[in-house]
Chains A and B, each alone.
Chain A
Amino acid sequence: MPTQLDISNLSKNFGGLRALGGIDLAVDTGELVGLIGPNGSGKTTLLNIIGGYYDASGGSITLDGHRIDGMAPSRLARLGIGRSFQVTKVFKRLTVLENMLVGALADWGLSRRAAEAKARAVLETLTLTRLADQPASSLSGGQAKLLEFGRIMMLDPRIVLLDEPFGGVHPELKRFMYDTIRTWNAAGATIILISHDMGSIFGLCRRVVTLSSGSIIADGDPEAVRNDPAVLEAYLGDHHAA
């Protein structure tokens, strides 16, 4: 598979604090990559730079060979990069259906009727149809996470960035989310998944990248990363690794 997302020597400083230092990461089309690391290791910062929310301090990102670093999030979304947020960003005073329509209608070539038909079909697959006309404020935490999934699906994304999608989600709903992610991936979407839920990461991903203090300390198949001493040290401390 050709490299789709190529991150080269990417760095990010917040004032005097180095959040990311010289990240090199190449992600192929259709990969499902887990991004793990202790709190403060730079996972969300990396996702925020890929998604256009932060400017990088140095380095570059290319999508299919074209530079995308520094682009606005809305432009990146239109290029096919969809993302979810650690704390869901559903539009609480809009209905579930309206939440779904926002992204679809950002494409001016799509009529409202077509967008609505598409949104209802996606809601059906997410089992949210009965809530379509309810305000998003009435959703549970898990349903809000699903709605974010649905909004991403409306974009027909090529790359999906998921930031802690399973946080606070009921196990049954979590299994449903696994299936959705696998379906996305099977349909050709590249997925980068951040999660503290190791069961989810190792169950879903065929490649796991570990960050610690803003650097990649391990990158490989789940089994190799799970047993990597550097990863154990980052998570558990020196003496456990030994």
Chain B
Amino acid sequence: MSGLTLLQKGILAVLVLALVLPYVGLQDYWLYTLTIGLYYAMLASSWSLLVGYVGRISFAQAAMSGLGAYVAVLTGQLLDLPVLPALAAGVAVAGLFGLFIGWLTLRLHGAYLGLTTIAFGEILRIAVTAEYDITQGSRGLTAPPLWQGAGPVAYYYVFLAAAVGSVLLMLALLRSRVGLFFQAIREDEDGTASLGVNVTLWKALAFAASTAFAGLAGGLYAHFVQLITPSMMSLQEMGYILAMAVIGGFSNVVHAALGGVILQGLLQVLRELGEWRLAIFGAVAILMLRFAPNGLFGSLDAFLRRRR
């Protein structure tokens, strides 16, 4: 424990608190809110994996979550797959789609890459909306629960395990040689290639890893809310994910995940402000990018390190 920074100790304390929360009299409403927050934590951290570590911008994360959700539900319905294999199918399809986007956009950077991923996301959302016979379009597709009788506490723990497990997996990946390749690519692609790293391969695989995690989040979300609509793939949803990652700190997957939970909580606390909440979050995200590009937790971490 002595090797941990103050922020890391704080994160551990939050995790312990998260484990006992259902038993300290938390209302179901707040448990529901936290569960959704954990969904966003997975999306924000998986987005941070790609943007913060590899330097590849994407605005298709919400669409990839939706893809994972629709594939998980539809393979369950059409192929009669049990929930777990159906979830795995959602993860695999989202990952493969990410690989495809990653490969197709290898030579694109900055605004061109961002615009291309927006186009991909929108194509997917429109296709899901248009294919009414399969997806029920805007009416929404009903999904079964994860298992019969699963209640709010069970869902909360499943999402907590999935979010923590996803972040731990991402951290393991980032601490491996692959994580070093990712960060080297972010710093300089030509320089990385000159050292024998297959930049093309790792850029495409980074997209795939990021979207696979989003697909997992989407599949779980579908079985939690039990009704999914194309709106979960919208640019507004993408805006939430972006704000969460930016405000939490998108150069660190843990910070981005915390941003997801906290902003979802704030969305509920400030619900009387209606649509203004989104405008406020947008403004805060802009201020963060300008004055604290490492986000709330990155800045806090730096502050605590300076004080040691």
Q: Write out, one digit per residue, whether chain A residues 30-41 have a CB within 8 A of any chain B CB (1) or not (0).
A: 000000000000
Q: Does B198 reach chain A (CB closer than 8 Å)? A: yes
Given contacts A73-B193, A98-B180, contact A91 B199 (CB under 8 A): no
Q: Are A103 and B196 in contact (CB under 8 A)?
A: yes
- A interface bracket (residues with beta carbon within 8 Å of B): 20 to 34
Closest CB-CB distance, A225 to chain B, in whole Å? 29
Q: Does B197 reach chain A (CB closer than 8 Å)? A: yes
- The listed residue (B190, B191, B196) touching A107 by CB distance below 8 A is B196
Q: Are B190 and A155 in contact (CB under 8 A)?
A: no
Q: Does B142 reach chain A (CB closer than 8 Å)? A: no
Could you tell me which A residues sit within 8 Å of B by CB distance? 51-53, 72-75, 77-78, 82-83, 85, 89-94, 98, 101-103, 105-107, 112, 151, 154-155
Could you tell me which B residues sit within 8 Å of A by CB distance? 177, 180-181, 183-184, 186-188, 190-200
**What is the CA–CA distance of A74 and B181 in the complex, to the nearest angstrom?**
12
**What is the CA–CA distance of A106 and B195 in the complex, to the nearest angstrom?**
7
**What is the CA–CA distance of A107 and B198 in the complex, to the nearest angstrom?**
11
- The listed residue (B177, B180, B184, B196) touching A155 by CB distance below 8 A is B196
- The listed residue (A90, A91, A106) touching B196 by CB distance below 8 A is A106
**What is the CA–CA distance of A90 and B200 in the complex, to the nearest angstrom?**
19
**Which residues of chain A have C-beta atoms less than 8 A from B186's C-beta?**
93
**What is the CA–CA distance of A107 and B186 in the complex, to the nearest angstrom?**
20
**Which residues of chain A have C-beta atoms less than 8 A from B190's C-beta?**
53, 73, 85, 89
Given contacts A72-B200, A74-B199, A105-B177, contact A82 B184 (CB under 8 A): no
**Which residues of chain A have C-beta atoms less than 8 A from B195's C-beta?**
74, 77, 102-103, 106, 151, 154-155
- The listed residue (A82, A92, A101, A107) touching B180 by CB distance below 8 A is A101
Q: Which residue of A lies closest to B186 (CB)?
A: A93
Q: Are A85 and B191 in contact (CB under 8 A)?
A: yes
**What is the CA–CA distance of A155 and B195 in the complex, to the nearest angstrom?**
7
**What is the CA–CA distance of A46 and B187 in the complex, to the nearest angstrom?**
25
Q: Are A91 and B188 in contact (CB under 8 A)?
A: yes
Given contacts A91-B187, A92-B187, A94-B187, contact A102 B193 (CB under 8 A): no
**Which residues of chain B have C-beta atoms less than 8 A from A106's C-beta?**
181, 195-198
**What is the CA–CA distance of A176 and B43 in the complex, to the nearest angstrom?**
50
Q: Are B187 and A77 in contact (CB under 8 A)?
A: no
Q: Which residue of A lies closest to B192 (CB)?
A: A102
**What is the CA–CA distance of A74 and B183 in the complex, to the nearest angstrom?**
16
Closest CB-CB distance, A73 to chain B, in whole Å? 4
**What is the CA–CA distance of A90 and B191 in the complex, to the nearest angstrom?**
7
Q: Which residue of B lies closest to A53 (CB)?
A: B190
**Which residues of chain B have C-beta atoms less than 8 A from A53's C-beta?**
190
- The listed residue (A74, A82, A93) touching B197 by CB distance below 8 A is A74
**Which residues of chain A have C-beta atoms less than 8 A from B177's C-beta?**
101, 105, 112
Q: Are B193 and A72 in contact (CB under 8 A)?
A: yes
Q: Are B181 and A102 in contact (CB under 8 A)?
A: yes
Given contacts A74-B199, A98-B180, contact A82 B187 (CB under 8 A): no
14 sampled A-B residue pairs with Cβ under 8 A: A52-B193, A53-B190, A77-B194, A77-B195, A85-B190, A85-B191, A89-B194, A91-B183, A91-B188, A92-B187, A93-B187, A105-B181, A112-B177, A155-B195
Closest CB-CB distance, B53 to chain A, in whole Å? 10
Q: Which residue of B lies closest to A151 (CB)?
A: B195
Q: Which residue of B lies closest to A78 (CB)?
A: B196
The 3 A-B pairs with the shortest beta carbon distances in the complex, nearest first, are: A89-B191, A103-B195, A91-B187
Given contacts A72-B193, A77-B193, A92-B187, contact A102 B180 (CB under 8 A): yes
**Which residues of chain B have C-beta atoms less than 8 A from A105's C-beta?**
177, 180-181
**What is the CA–CA distance of A74 and B194 in the complex, to the nearest angstrom?**
6
- The listed residue (A74, A89, A112) touching B198 by CB distance below 8 A is A74
Q: Which residue of A lies closest to B187 (CB)?
A: A91
Q: Which residue of A lies closest to B200 (CB)?
A: A72
**What is the CA–CA distance of A226 and B73 in the complex, to the nearest angstrom?**
76
- Most chain B CB within a 10 A radius of its CB, from A98, A102, A107, A112: A102
Closest CB-CB distance, B180 to chain A, in whole Å? 6
